[in-house]
């Protein structure tokens, strides 16, 4: 199952991504093998996970979350 996830970086910023194995992906971020954005902001902490049926759906959801302002992302985290 694919997942969309949000991690909180060491500098307090939020990064949104998608993965099949979220724990493995977060470990990759923390090992410096994740995205360029998180590489300079380690360690990251998983703060949100959302499961979806297909890869296409999860990628669309990721795009929607990435476009959200920070305040809306924080509400999403709080409401789960």
Q: Which helix (H) or strand (E) holds 24?
A: helix 22-30
Report the C-alpha gap between 55 and 57 in whole angstroms.
Answer: 5
In terms of residues, how long is the chain? 80
Report the C-alpha gap between 43 and 54 in whole angstroms.
Answer: 29
Kindly indicate the confidence band of residue 80, based on its pLDDT and cuts at 50, 70 and 90: confident
Q: Taking the model in full, what pTM does it have?
A: 0.95
Q: Which residues 6+ apart lie within 8 Å of 73 measured at CB?
A: 6, 14, 16, 65
Asked if residue 72 has pLDDT above 90, the reply is yes
Identify the three-state secondary structure at position 42.
coil
Structural domain including 34 reads 3-78
CATH of the domain at 61: 3.40.1440.10
Number of domains the chain contains: 1
Residues 19-70 pLDDT 10s: 999 999 999 999 999 899 999 999 999 999 999 999 999 999 999 999 999 9
């Amino acid at each position: 199952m694919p997942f969309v996830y949000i991690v909180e970086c060491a500098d307090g910023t939020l990064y949104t991504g998608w993965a099949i194995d979220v724990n493995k992906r977060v470990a990759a971020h923390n090992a410096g093998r994740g995205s360029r954005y998180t590489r300079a902001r380690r360690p990251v902490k998983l703060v949100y996970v959302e499961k979806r049926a297909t890869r296409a759906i999860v990628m669309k959801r990721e795009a929607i979350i990435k476009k959200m302002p920070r305040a809306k992302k924080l509400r999403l985290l709080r409401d789960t």
